[in-house]
C-alpha cells in the first residue's frame, strides 16, 4: 500500500486509540490527524505512567481527548460505538512493576482488554481491533530469530498477561467473528516517551541519563543482542495493520533487521549526546531472574503481508530523539 493510498484510507476514518496520550498512542494520533482521520483518545493520565498532555501539542484541536480508564465498562460501551478502527495500546508495561503488583497488571492488561472486547462484541462488532502486543510474550528465547509460531514462555507477570490479552483476541475472533490483529512490538524508542523513570523503556531512559551527564548502568557484560525500532516505524506498522484487510486475524512480529549488543546501544547514545559514561555492574537478582538473553525478531510475515520495512537506523533514531528532548525537556523531566 502506497503512502497516498494510506492517506486516502484514513481520511475521515473514525478511530479510537486507548492509551492515546502515551508514547505509542500519541505518535499514532499525530500521524492519523495529519491524514484527516477523526480520532478519539482515551487515557487515564495515571501519574506514574507515560500519558502526557504535551504529547498531543499541535493537534489538540483535531482530536477528541477523554481522560478516563478503559476498565470502566460504561465508558467503553459508549466509546466503541461508531468507531471503525480501535487501536488498543493502553496497558501496564513494566516488567518489574508487574511482579511487584501482579493484580494491577492483571486488572489493566487482562480485565481491561476483556472489557474492550465485550463492548465491541455488543455494540460495534464490525470494528477492526489492532492490539499492541509485545516481545515479552515469548519470554526465554529457544531459537533465533523468533518467529510468530514459536513457543512462548513469558518470564514475568507482564508477559503472561499480555499473552493472555492476545489470546482473548483470538477467542473473540473465532467465537464472535471480531476482526483482530496483534503487533508483537519490539523495543521501541523515540519522541514522546516518558522520561521520569527507568521502568518503561530503557533506551529512552539511557538518553535522559546521558543528557543529565549521569552514568549509564549496564548489567553484566551487556553482550545480549537486542532489536530496536524507532517510533515512526512502529507508527507506520500500526497504520498498515489497520488499513490492509489481509492482516485481519493474525499476529505479527516487528523488528529492526539490525540487532545490536546492548552495551553498543548505550555506547551509541553516549557518542551522540556527547555526555555520560558506561558502568558495568553485576546483575541484580530481581533482574537476572527475568532476563531473556538475546532477542532477534523475524518480521518477514508482516513484511510479506503489508510491505512494511523499518526505515530509521538506530543512529539516526537516537539523534532525532535527543534533538526532541533537548528542545522539550521541561515537559518530560519533572
CATH of the domain at 183: 3.40.50.720
Q: What is the pLDDT of residue 121?
A: 98
Q: What is the pLDDT of residue 104?
A: 96
Q: Considering just the CA atoms, what is the radius of gyration of the chain in Å?
A: 19
Q: What are the beta bridge partners of residue 218?
A: 280
Q: Domain tally for the chain?
A: 1
Cβ–Cβ under 8 Å, residues 1 and 240: yes
Mean pLDDT of the 155-180 span: 97
119 three-state secondary structure: helix
Q: What is the pLDDT of residue 36?
A: 97
pLDDT above 70 as % of the chain: 100
Q: Does 35 reside within a domain? A: yes
Please give the full DSSP string across 282-307, using - where no structure is assigned: PPPHHHHTT------B--HHHHHHH-
pTM of the shown model: 0.96
Mean pLDDT of the 261-282 span: 95
Q: Does 49 reside within a domain? A: yes
Q: How far apart are CA 306 and CA 252, in angstroms?
A: 11
Per the rule left: phi > 0, alpha: psi between -120 and 50, beta: everything else, 218 is: beta
Q: Does 318 reside within a domain? A: no
Q: How far apart are CA 314 and CA 261, in angstroms?
A: 12
Q: Does 286 reside within a domain? A: no
Average pLDDT, the chain: 95
Q: Say if residue 43's pLDDT is above 90.
A: yes
pLDDT in tens, 274-328: 999 999 999 888 888 888 889 999 999 999 999 999 999 999 999 999 999 999 9
Q: Does 114 reside within a domain? A: yes
Q: Does 115 reside within a domain? A: yes
105 three-state secondary structure: helix
Q: How far apart are CA 241 and CA 285, in angstroms?
A: 38
DSSP state of 49: S
Q: Does 326 reside within a domain? A: no
Can you give the residue range of the structural domain that contains 104? 3-194+229-257+296-312
Q: Does 58 reside within a domain? A: yes
pLDDT in tens, 166-175: 999 999 999 9
Q: Say if residue 96's pLDDT is above 90.
A: no
Amino acid at each position: 500500500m502506497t503512502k497516498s493510498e494510506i492517506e486516502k484510507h484514513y481520511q475521515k476514518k473514525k478511530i479510537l486509540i486507548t492509551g492515546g496520550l502515551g508514547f505509542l498512542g500519541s505518535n499514532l494520533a499525530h500521524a492519523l490527524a495529519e491524514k484527516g482521520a477523526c480520532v478519539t483518545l482515551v487515557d487515564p493520565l495515571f501519574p506514574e505512567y507515560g500519558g502526557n498532555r504535551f504529547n498531543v501539542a499541535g493537534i489538540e484541536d483535531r482530536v477528541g481527548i477523554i481522560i478516563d480508564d478503559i476498565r470502566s465498562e460504561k465508558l467503553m460501551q459508549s466509546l466503541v460505538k461508531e468507531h471503525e478502527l480501535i487501536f488498543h495500546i493502553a496497558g501496564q508495561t513494566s516488567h518489574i512493576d508487574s511482579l511487584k503488583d501482579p493484580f494491577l497488571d492483571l486488572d489493566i492488561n487482562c480485565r481491561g482488554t476483556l472489557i474492550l472486547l465485550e463492548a465491541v462484541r455488543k455494540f460495534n462488532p464490525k470494528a477492526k481491533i489492532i492490539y499492541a502486543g509485545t516481545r515479552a510474550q515469548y519470554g526465554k528465547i529457544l531459537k533465533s530469530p523468533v518467529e510468530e509460531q514459536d513457543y512462548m514462555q513469558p518470564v514475568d507477570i507482564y508477559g503472561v498477561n499480555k499473552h493472555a490479552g492476545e489470546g482473548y483476541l483470538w477467542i473473540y475472533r473465532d467465537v464472535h467473528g471480531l476482526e483482530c490483529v496483534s503487533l508483537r512490538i519490539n523495543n521501541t524508542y523515540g519522541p514522546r516517551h516518558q522520561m521520569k523513570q527507568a521502568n518503561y523503556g530503557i533506551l529512552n531512559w539511557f538518553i535522559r541519563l546521558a543528557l543529565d551527564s549521569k552514568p549509564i548502568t549496564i548489567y553484566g557484560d551487556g553482550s545480549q543482542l537486542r532489536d530496536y525500532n524507532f517510533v515512526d516505524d512502529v507508527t507506520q506498522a500500526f497504520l498498515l495493520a489497520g488499513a490492509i484487510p489481509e492482516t485481519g486475524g493474525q499476529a505479527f512480529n516487528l523488528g529492526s533487521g539490525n540487532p545490536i549488543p546492548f552495551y553498543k546501544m548505550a555506547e551509541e547514545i553516549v557518542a551522540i549526546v556527547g555526555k555520560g559514561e558506561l558502568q558495568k555492574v553485576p546483575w541484580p537478582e530481581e533482574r537476572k531472574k527475568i532476563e531473556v538473553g538475546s532477542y532477534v525478531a523475524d518480521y518477514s510475515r508482516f513484511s510479506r503481508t503489508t510491505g512494511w520495512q523499518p526505515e530509521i537506523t538506530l543512529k539516526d533514531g537516537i539523534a532525532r530523539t535527543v534533538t526532541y528532548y533537548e528542545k522539550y525537556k521541561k515537559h518530560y523531566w519533572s
